[in-house]
Amino acid sequence: MDSMRHAVHTVFKSAAEKVMPTRSESGFQKHGVLTPEEFVTSGDHLAGTCSTWTWETGNLAKAKDWLPKDKQYLITRKVPSNKRASEVEQYGEKAEASSMLEEGGDDEGWVAPPMQTQRHEAEEISSLQPAPEGHSSAPAEEEDDIPDIDELELEDHEIDEAAVPGPDASTGADHDHIVSTRTYDLMITYDKYYQVPRFWLVGYDENRQPLKSSQILEDVSEEHARKTITVDPFPHSGVPAASIHPCKHASVMKKLGSMAEASGHPFQVDSYLVLFLKFIASVIPTIEYDYTMAAGW
């Protein structure tokens, strides 16, 4: 049933995006949401300060008309993942469950990062400019049908290798002393319905073979793996990709921005995606992507 609700909501969301107006009024400070223009501005800042992130055009037939043709989504490739989430959590890097922020009540199953972690990361924000005031509200409809991933039909998809960008498979010899490293291609799109960034990931094993859905979950924080991760076709290729569902991103970003303001650092749109990726790091603690290098964070 949860799988069916997720499928129905996906169809509804796709239809709604075709008729709903594109957000034009700034609201990242007040509501934690972005306009497409602000998404591009923040993406330019991320790509300019963290050179591993680049803009992609993608499939022109699938281009979103509310974004520039050459800036449809951000991507970073071949990001290493040397440990599984259970290993990271075993050594004390997992936050106490009692310190987790529950968004929308126990029955919604969406878990935000620890308050202490949020506050620490927010206090790192520096060199910020004033941002425009926003007065429009975020999408009014709350998503109540995000399924528990345990009950989704997560099949081990057969992925068309020709449709997945990436380097050739490794041809190196197998040595016992070499650590087998998974790699990920990470993407950030703009979600028009929720008016926030959406984070996607496609994983590969040490031989550059696509990871199964169950294997990807091994790299996700246990608190999030069963509640906030869905597997959907990536909008610009159709390739099955794991995604952190964006239904609560706005409320988390609003809280992180408020913490930044309270610590004396005005929350600016340029730094939105850098702060967003700090939040994502609490969900996927094993993937070592670049969001701080040369950015002064």
- Encode pLDDT of 209-241 as tens digits: 999 888 888 888 777 666 778 888 999 998 889
Q: Active site includes 247?
A: yes
- Say how far apart CA 165 and CA 152 lie, in whole Å: 27
Q: Band of the pLDDT at 89, cuts 50, 70, 90?
A: low
pLDDT of residue 133 exceeding 60: no
By the 10 Å C-beta count (0-12 exposed, 13-18 middle, 19+ buried), 147 is classed as buried
Q: Over range 138-151, report the average pLDDT.
A: 43
CATH number of the domain located at residue range(s) 35-149+180-283 in this protein:
3.30.1460.50
Exactly one of 247, 256, 269, 283 is catalytic; name it. Answer: 247
CB 161 within 8 A of CB 265: no
Give the number of other CB atoms < 10 A from CB of residue 6: 20
Task: Give the per-residue pLDDT at 291.
Answer: 59
- Beta bridge partners, 98, equal none
Q: How confident is the model at residue 138, as a pLDDT?
A: 42
More confident residue, 180 or 275: 275
pLDDT value for 121: 46
Name the more confident of 68 and 90. Answer: 68
For residue 96, how many other CB atoms are within 10 A of its CB?
A: 8
Q: Based on C-alpha coordinates, what's the Rg of the chain?
A: 19
* Percent of the chain at pLDDT exceeding 70: 64
Give 234 or 173, the one with higher predicted confidence: 234
Domain locations in the chain?
35-149+180-283
Query: Residue 202's pLDDT is what?
Result: 94
Mean pLDDT of the chain: 74
Q: What element of type H or E holds 232?
A: strand 229-233
Q: Which two tokens stand for residue 112?
A: 């935000």
| Residue 179 confidence (pLDDT) | 53
Q: At what angle do helices 272-283 and 249-262 cross, to 10 degrees?
A: 110
Look at 53-67, 111-125, 278-292 and tell me which has the smallest mean pLDDT. Answer: 111-125
Residues 6+ apart with CB under 8 A from 100: 111, 112, 113, 114, 223
Is beta strand 73-81 parallel, antiparallel or unpaired with respect to 182-191? antiparallel
